Structure 1
Amino acid sequence: MSQPLTHPLHTIQKERAIIFILAALQFLHVLDFVIMMPLGPVFMESFNIDAAAFGLLVSSYSISAGVFGLIGALFLDTFDRKLSLLVLFFGFSFGTFLCAFANSYVFLLIARVIAGGFGGMIGATVLSIIGDIIPVFRRGTATGVVMGSFSVASVVGVPFGLELAERFGWHFPFLSLGIAGFLILPLGYKLLPSIRYHLDSDIKVKQSQVKSLLLVLKKKEHFPPFIFMVFLMFGGFTVIPFLSPFLVSNVGLSTKQIPYIYFFGGLVTFFTSRYIGKLADRFGKFIIYQIVTVLAIIPVILVVTMTKTALPMILVITTIFMVFVSGRMVPAFAMVTSAVEPRIRGSFMSVNSAIQQIASGAASYVAGLILYQNADKQFVNYELVGMISVLSLLFSVYLAKKIKISG
């Protein structure tokens, strides 16, 4: 049996360096997406758009990511994963750079589609690399570190991005992200090893690219993780995109106070995500997912039913919300990553990522259709959106039982 890498990892230090660069790339990728949510009030005012139009702005990235993710499933397993990741990240950085020069709603919408087309495949490639080079008994921890990029993006990226938007306009966060993306590419080229385990002749099945995709789609063992991913996304992305606009319009937060939400939420989840990953490795990924998801229902209900509330209490509720709603992703992705054999992991993760992105985009868009603003500019029906989230969370626990671990 061949080693997992053409140049095997000899030390934990090399493994940590790889995890570091994957987390850094994921950080920029995640920040590009999450910065859209706190900028919601700014976009709605700048372009004079309603909740449905903003929902489309958020979902356009995700739906584009899903569509191109399916295309990526046709070829990602035929290239060195290092090459795939760097090319995808270049295209993503270019799309983000275009966002900085958008002078209209339509231009920004198109730029988000381009960024999403490339960005949607980054997550699948990163998780495939983790699945290929990290032993299964450390995979939950590694996934927790990479998923912790959401926390770092919230603690550092979102407040800094919102400060740039406050001082220089909403274009500047995207300009900074685009430049940072181009600058980190050489570091990724240096630190990432060639990853060709899935291409080794003694394990690779000679087949066409279409057959590779069909193999992923026709295996009955893959259906549960795919359906699971739909409800995993609806459990969070019905509520998350409109959190900032809701807090400003209904709860009384000012736009300048929004960074506190992401700072404290991200700061706490930076530690809890890693801890949840370790718990998943120790006690089992399903049992930890089950516990965290059931606990997530409480803050979801508290968030969507909030009225005028003091800032300290808002921070407590939203921080708990982020801890559990984002924390369930760690055991969830560790389960899904391990639900496929290595030779088709890239195609599987591309399809899975496509489903994830389309589902999150659909959740955002559906929520935007349900929500509307009354004469006082307050959002109506957020609690109904929250009910969809709760039902999705509960059903995802049932579906998680059906996922079989392959390796």
Structure 2
Amino acid sequence: MTRAESSATAPEQRRFERIVVLLLAAVQFTTIVDFMIVMPLGPQLMRTLEIGPAEFALIVSSYTFAAGVAGLIAAAVVDRFSRRAAFLFLFAGFLLGTLCCAFAPNYQALVVARIVTGGFGGILGGITMAIIGDVFPEERRGRATGSLMTGFALASVAGVPLGLVIGTNFGWHMPFIALAMGGLPVLGLAWYALPPLNSHVDQVQARPLRSLRDTFTHRDHLNAFALIVTLMISSFTVFPFLSPYLVSNVGMTEQQLPLVYIAGGLLTLFAAPIVGRLADQFGKLRVYRWVAPLSALMFLTITHLPEGRVLLAICVFGALMVCNVGRMIPAMAMVTSSVAPQRRGAFLSANSSIQHMASGIGAYGGGLLVTQAADGRIEHFGTIGWISAGATLLTIVLAGRVRIVVEEPISAEEICLEAAAEASVDAGEPLAGVH
């Protein structure tokens, strides 16, 4: 395509990009609320199911471990399908798993339901990032990732607080029912609006196991994986236990917990697009290295809060959320850009797998270190903070090892051709130029 042709199709390309971002952000909202709602429901779950910190950590980590195993399986085969087909199948399975959580009668059933949900949700995250990589060029990928993170922010502002209110008043089952029902219209919209995105299929290797082996032996991939593993461990040693800690140690009531997530979400909603633009303007690695030390400081601060300082806790939590999204946006943009298009689905499925498994290791490891005293207080949380801060500082070095692959994104014209070709095949008509 010539420069003139590219300019002519630029408005159409940008409109398409906006539609894709809005759709993916809506799905991101649903999946993030589903994953996050378990953590602030921690005090209620521990009380009603009569479980301790270790058992609660398993509820959180069962999702992530299942996502990790499923992502490894998907890495071998996911690039054989169009992005839309894979996306729709996985999102439908995710909603079904969420509905299973809603009707779980006890602790064991809830863990099984979280495994089902995580199995679909883990691969879904990789497909989402693969679509971002297919549609957006590297110079706009930071902004696109930042816009996608608004789904995370809205989940914190509206989804999690609303889920907490519903859970507090109607029981912990009800937020999952609301999520499953709310996700159905998004599934229908995705079927209607998302193009096939299947130009990568013809370049896929014939042997799934070889594709999987190549994904885990490529040096650039391993560097990206190392960054993601350390990032997730640094976060999930702390995040699953923040709600029980804020209630038992700081003195916050369960009714006040939504304020924490609203404050963090509002700040994230404001900061995420700014971080995305800064990452594109000044470079992803530079912005990451600006934010990571602040993130380490916030992990230390929130795990050493004094008792009775509820307002301080809300402010520190908000700052921690901003720092967390501030490092995730450039990190995920770098990771997405570190792989060639024909390997992107497999790589990002594997990356999602590793991301979730590392989250599970962090959550379960934190659950083994943290204990609950007879009066309900969470003990050894400060030690968790030091571990998290150290891991965060290590990521500054690891981020510098991620290498960017420069390639051309799919154009609006190519997208239209893909859609027309699929429509012709569905209608049983021969394609022009095919004999």
Residue of structure 2 in register with 1:129 after alignment: 131
CA distance in 2, matches of 1:89, 1:375: 42
Residue of structure 2 in register with 1:213 after alignment: 212
Whether 1:291 aligns to 2:293 is: no
Q: Aligned letter for 1:368?
A: G
Match of 1:138 among 105, 130, 140: 140
Q: Is the 8 A contact 1:143 1:277 kept in 2?
A: yes
Q: Aligned letter for 2:217?
A: K
Q: Encode CA deviations 1:346-379: one digit per residue, 9 max, x unaligned.
A: 0000111111000001000000000001121101
Q: Is the 8 A contact 2:205 2:211 kept in 1?
A: no
Residue of structure 2 in register with 1:157 after alignment: 159
CA distance in 2, matches of 1:305, 1:239: 12
Residue of structure 1 in register with 2:358 after alignment: 359
Cα distance, 1:8 vs. partner?
Answer: 10
Q: After alignment, is 359-368 or 14-23 more displaced?
A: 14-23
Residue of structure 2 in register with 1:42 after alignment: 44
Residue of structure 2 in register with 1:376 after alignment: 375
Q: Aligned letter for 1:361?
A: G
Cα distance, 1:310 vs. partner?
Answer: 2.8
Q: Aligned letter for 1:165?
A: G
SS at match of 1:218: coil
Q: How does 1:8-407 map to 2 (within 5 A)?
A: 10-199=12-201, 201=202, 204-407=203-406
CA distance in 2, matches of 1:351, 1:107: 27
Q: Is the 8 A contact 2:296 2:390 kept in 1?
A: no
Cα distance, 1:218 vs. partner?
Answer: 1.6
CA distance in 2, matches of 1:11, 1:404: 27
Q: Encode CA deviations 1:231-257: one digit per residue, 9 max, x unaligned.
A: 010111110110000000000000000
SS at match of 1:139: helix
Cα distance, 1:9 vs. partner?
Answer: 8.6
CA distance in 2, matches of 1:369, 1:276: 35
CA distance in 2, matches of 1:339, 1:11: 23
CA distance in 2, matches of 1:186, 1:49: 38
Cα distance, 1:311 vs. partner?
Answer: 2.3
Q: Aligned letter for 1:162?
A: L
Q: Aligned letter for 2:47?
A: E
Q: After alignment, is 170-179 or 304-313 more displaced?
A: 304-313
Cα distance, 1:75 vs. partner?
Answer: 1.1
Q: Is the 8 A contact 1:234 1:388 kept in 2?
A: no
CA distance in 2, matches of 1:146, 1:290: 21
SS at match of 2:298: helix
CA distance in 1, matches of 2:373, 2:162: 32
Shift of the 63–205 alpha-carbon distance from structure 1 to 2, 3 Å rule, reads: closer
SS at match of 1:75: helix
Q: Encode CA deviations 1:182-239: one digit per residue, 9 max, x unaligned.
A: 222110111111101212x4xx154211111111112112111111111010111110
Q: Is the 8 A contact 2:80 2:204 kept in 1?
A: no
Q: Encode CA deviations 1:79-137: one digit per residue, 9 max, x unaligned.
A: 00011011000000000001111110000000000000000011100000000111111
CA distance in 1, matches of 2:210, 2:252: 52
CA distance in 2, matches of 1:20, 1:172: 26
Q: Post-superposition, which runs of at least 4 consecutive aligned residues in structure 1 deviate over 4 A? A: none
Q: Aligned letter for 2:404?
A: I
TM-score by length of 2: 0.90
Cα distance, 1:312 vs. partner?
Answer: 1.9
CA distance in 1, matches of 2:156, 2:405: 33
CA distance in 1, matches of 2:18, 2:354: 29
Cα distance, 1:143 vs. partner?
Answer: 0.4
CA distance in 2, matches of 1:383, 1:233: 18
CA distance in 2, matches of 1:222, 1:17: 29
CA distance in 1, matches of 2:109, 2:204: 43
Q: Aligned letter for 2:50?
A: N
Q: Is the 8 A contact 2:25 2:147 kept in 1?
A: yes
Q: After alignment, is 326-335 or 177-186 more displaced?
A: 177-186
Q: Aligned letter for 1:84?
A: A
Q: Is the 8 A contact 1:70 1:354 kept in 2?
A: yes
CA distance in 2, matches of 1:74, 1:269: 35
CA distance in 2, matches of 1:159, 1:356: 25
Shift of the 323–406 alpha-carbon distance from structure 1 to 2, 3 Å rule, reads: same
Shift of the 127–8 alpha-carbon distance from structure 1 to 2, 3 Å rule, reads: farther
CA distance in 1, matches of 2:332, 2:186: 25
Instruction: In structure 1, list runs of 5 or more residues that go unmatched.
Output: none
Q: Aligned letter for 2:82?
A: D
CA distance in 1, matches of 2:233, 2:377: 23
Residue of structure 1 in register with 2:433 after alignment: none
CA distance in 2, matches of 1:122, 1:249: 35
Q: Is the 8 A contact 1:164 1:172 kept in 2?
A: yes
Q: Percent identity?
A: 42
Q: Is the 8 A contact 1:125 1:346 kept in 2?
A: yes
Q: Aligned letter for 2:389?
A: V
CA distance in 2, matches of 1:179, 1:404: 41
Q: How many residue pairs were aligned?
A: 402
Q: Is the 8 A contact 1:151 1:270 kept in 2?
A: yes
Q: Is the 8 A contact 1:132 1:197 kept in 2?
A: no
CA distance in 2, matches of 1:20, 1:32: 19
Cα distance, 1:302 vs. partner?
Answer: 1.0
